[in-house]
Structure 1
Amino acid sequence: MTSCRQAPDPYIWNIPAGFPVPHVPQDNPMSYAKVGLGKALFFEPALSGNGAMSCSTCHIPEHAFSEPRQTSSGSTGQQGRRNALALVNVAYNGHLTWAHDGLGTIEQQLLIPLFNEHPVEMGVTGNEQKILARFETDDYHDLFDAAFGDDAITWERIVNALASYVRSLTSFNSRFDDYAYRQDDNALTASELRGMELFFSERLECFHCHGGFNFTQSSQHVNQQLDLRPFHNTGLYNIDGKGSYPSSDIGLAQISQESADMGRFRAPTLRNIALTAPYMHDGSLSTLEEVIAFYEAGGLADGVNSPIKSPFMGGFTLTNEERIDLIAFLHSLTDERFVEQGIQHSPVIPPRVNID
């Protein structure tokens, strides 16, 4: 079926007044209908080759759309090498994934989990037509029709709808936001305020890599066109005394083929960080306490002496009270409403699909 309709109502971002609007590709404008279709697809196991997993398998709403496992595994059981990044304010990310400087849009990034073969994630490759056939139902035809103006089901439209849904996952309702942007002087405790002062101090230098309203150096929006190079070697490894990382994952150097990029990974947002354990690109640190100890030491084990680690990884000394305060501040970045809305996003009655 085809239909003619008026242009959809303009999409209104769920962000505080005065905050910049994220960049959106001109060929994939936001609409409520497209976000709704993307939501259904995000939680849809039929989108994987064998119907065994959905995007939400590794990006769980209760964990701020991350996964409480060290590294993720794909639909066929193949183990990945990286921890699943939280999908928090991804619309503002200037770079996507842990270590790739060539992926500037969510549409580009989505092709990796969908079509990747080494390792297999969603397992679409080789199953493209079989998967599309599953969505030849009245429910999905209606959703595609509402989103795109006709009911044709294509991979380009699936990717665009998923990207629109992921862009819609904005988080600005933490108690820190109440304090910093809504002028509620009582939103943070005395301990959290002391932790905030530590976080933004030159003594700890956390804000250099996790700064700005999104608590990450990798941010772009309509008021900021330039994205600083947000990849850093934090001294997590130093296998050969020259700063090398395990051959299984050498970070940005795998893409750039530049030795200077050995072990460089993107600094993720710290929004909702208390919900997204374990931490680091390989999930090797289990708790926020371990993370703070890691930065205090200026690296991990031999990584402390890495000659190519970030200059911001000089280490520092905290008292027990200061550690408690700093972790308390990080907890104040939790947006409970974001988590509740994420859980509600999961369709109670999913659209029907054709079973293979």
Structure 2
Amino acid sequence: MTVADAPRALPSTSDNLLLADAGEGTRVEFRGVVKEYGATRVLHGVDLDIAPGEFVSLLGPSGCGKTTALRVLAGLEKATDGAVLLGGADVSRVPTNKRDIGMVFQSYSLFPHLTVAGNTAFGLRRRGVGKKDAAERAADALDLVGLGHLADRFPHQLSGGQQQRVALARALVTEPRVLLLDEPLSALDAKVRVQLRDEIRRIQLRLGITTVFVTHDQEEALAVSDRIAVMDAGRIEQIGTPEELYLRPATSAVAAFIGVSSVVPGDVVGDTVTVWGVELPVRGPVAPGPADVFLRPENVTLVSADSPGVDAVVQESIFLGSFRRTLVRTGDGTLVRVQHPATDGVEYDGRVRIALSAVPVTTRPRGAA
């Protein structure tokens, strides 16, 4: 059974109308989606299958095509070729307001003259929902995001995190088939960003709503996603669970983008690569010869001076709570990050010795981008 096909627990119901009506989500499919702006191709035949109720992140650097893909899914951009399906139906030519989706953007886009309750109920009123029913549903949505007590305030009386929660409630109140999140947390400070990130995931699980989340922040994607699609230059490099992408990156681009890696020189022979005299297993078939090797900090350790290893000099060391991440320079000038217990004392310009764990590594031809 694949991750996309795995059964999901139904949300528990309550007096909240949104939860009582929550379903199992809607399948979302991209089939060979191409998007061009004049002579520039931004999406190169994107294929993606998102299971009902799944939380999938589109992750990648700026300009990789992730926001364009989301806008095509929303109907804000028309695909040049290919098809977008919701629940098995082709919606490629269906306008945005007929696709039954909810969207949350980086900017809150709240109406300053409307209260929190008025902003939340706005979409319902536009759809012809009666005033009383709209008010009740808006109240349920605000309770869901923890803002029921602020219903009578205006946007300027709220913090940034509170305003983004209102935007989320407004997107959820219409009970859309799919929720789209376009970098909704990037304008918030770090602590609020983590809190709201976790809250979005909690709500998504309770509602069972299919969610597509666009972000350039790998920590966000790793923390909340069922699966992550890593994009580069308009293509999906790899899609998988956070664990799969981190532990078994399919390409050097994924290895470089997910997590922290040091790139060190090595030589590939057969299915191993030699780094400073140590043979390491290589993931996937690779061409023999000089290679760049991606080393995770947790797979590089500090060892005693008389142990097998490589001599290095400390360049910097960062305290990260229960561990430190220390940057060292080896004799050949290579910079390597080492993750070690915070109790292991190191000093700037101090001499240390490092050793490599014999775990599979990702490589690319030496000097390749």
- Give TM-score scaled by structure 2 length: 0.26
- Give TM-score scaled by structure 1 length: 0.27
| Bigger helix fraction | 1
Larger radius of gyration: 2
Which one has more relative contact order, counting CA pairs under 8 Å at least 6 apart?
1
